[in-house]
């Protein structure tokens, strides 16, 4: 149990276009999900906290108008990178908090390449 | 506020040798501590976690870690390295509960030499 999936696993898009990444908790409901970003050979940095039915809370320095987060249901959160640029190329990982509240479960990640 | 320091961005061990990956943390509240492993182009897999209770925590694949409050440390060990252990390892800390953000260390890349 406690599986989190992400779709797509890999996406290539052209500069200036938008791309949506989905994060799903498959076997539990998650009121809270988190979005992280990982640059090559670096650690994960929290981008935002997503709470079902409310606006996401962004970390300092993260552009909320560029990285749109929607947590419309208890099993789905989406991250939309708007007007993507090559510097947005990164590995994006989501996590979902299990209702037991003890732990976040991480998705397998989505690699975004902007050309 | 919380932070994690992993000493050594690269660690090399011989197959069969002891694995020791160091992690020190800082937290203003009682911490939850985690070790994750990441293989190339993959997500994170939880190795083990400390929340409360027993300070020696056993995880998957023969790994264990000991929470030492006095030293603010949570070092990861494995008695005998296997080739399949070669990966990136991240130590992480959060305030108690899964609804708090997780702060990751910079990672340690483990190389296992045959």
- In this predicted structure, what is the pLDDT of residue A47? 96
A31-46: per-residue pLDDT in tens? 899 999 998 878 889 9
- In this predicted structure, what is the pLDDT of residue A87? 94
Residue B37, both tokens: 């492993």
- In this predicted structure, what is the pLDDT of residue A52? 87
Q: What is the largest CA-CA distance in chain A?
A: 41
**Stretch A15-34: mean pLDDT:** 94
List chain A residues with CB under 8 Å of B41.
Answer: 109, 111
**Stretch A71-86: mean pLDDT:** 94
Beta carbons of B108 and B6 less than 8 angstroms apart? yes
Q: What percent of chain A has pLDDT above 90?
A: 74
Q: Which residues pair with B7 in a beta bridge?
A: B22
Q: What is the DSSP letter of A87?
A: G
**Stretch B75-97: mean pLDDT:** 93
Query: What CA–CA distance (Å, rounded) separates A57 from A32?
Result: 11
List chain A residues with CB under 8 Å of B44.
Answer: 44, 93, 106
Closest approach of B9 to chain A, Cα-based (Å) = 10
Which 3-state string (H, E, C) describes chain B?
A: CEEEEEECCEEEEECCCCEEEEEEEEECCCEEEEEEEECCCCCEEEEEEECCCCCEEECHHHCEEEEECCCCEEEEEECCCCHHHCEEEEEEEEECCCCCCCEECCCEEEEEEC
Closest chain A residue to B36 measured between Cα atoms? Answer: A106
Beta carbons of A69 and A50 less than 8 angstroms apart? yes
- In this predicted structure, what is the pLDDT of residue B85? 96
List chain A residues with CB under 8 Å of B50.
Answer: none
Closest chain A residue to B107 measured between Cα atoms? Answer: A43
B10-54: per-residue pLDDT in tens? 999 999 999 999 999 998 888 999 999 998 878 888 999 998 889
Q: pLDDT higher for B42 or B111?
A: B111
User: Is B90–A44 a contact, with Cβ atoms under 8 angstroms apart?
Assistant: yes
Q: What percent of chain B has pLDDT above 70?
A: 98
- In this predicted structure, what is the pLDDT of residue B97? 67
For an interface test with A, the pick among B10, B44, B100, B103 (most A C-beta atoms closer than 10 Å) comes out as: B44
Q: Are strands A32-38 and A90-97 parallel, antiparallel or unpaired?
A: antiparallel
Closest approach of B99 to chain A, Cα-based (Å) = 6
């Amino acid at each position: 149990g406690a599986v989190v999936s992400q779709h797509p696993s890999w996406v290539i898009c052209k500069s200036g276009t938008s791309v949506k990444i989905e994060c799903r908790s498959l076997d539990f409901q998650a009121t809270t999900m988190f979005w992280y970003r990982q640059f090559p050979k670096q650690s994960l940095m929290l981008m935002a906290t997503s709470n079902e039915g409310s606006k996401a809370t962004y970390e300092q320095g993260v552009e909320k108008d560029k990285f749109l987060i929607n947590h419309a249901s208890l099993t789905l959160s989406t991250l939309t990178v708007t007007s993507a640029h090559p510097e947005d190329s990164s590995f994006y990982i989501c996590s979902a908090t299990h209702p037991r509240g003890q732990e976040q479960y991480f998705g397998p990640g989505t690699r975004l390449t902007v050309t | 506020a919380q932070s994690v320091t992993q000493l050594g961005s690269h660690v090399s061990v011989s197959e069969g040798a002891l694995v020791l990956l160091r992690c020190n943390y800082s937290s203003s509240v009682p911490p939850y501590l985690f070790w994750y492993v990441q293989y190339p182009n993959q997500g994170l897999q939880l190795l083990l976690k400390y929340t409360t209770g027993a300070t020696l925590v056993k995880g998957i694949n023969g790994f264990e870690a000991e929470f030492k409050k006095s030293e603010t440390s949570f070092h990861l060990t494995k008695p005998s390295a296997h080739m399949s252990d070669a990966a990136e390892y991240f130590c992480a800390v959060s305030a108690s509960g899964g609804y708090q953000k997780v702060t990751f260390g910079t990672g340690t890349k483990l190389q296992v030499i045959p």
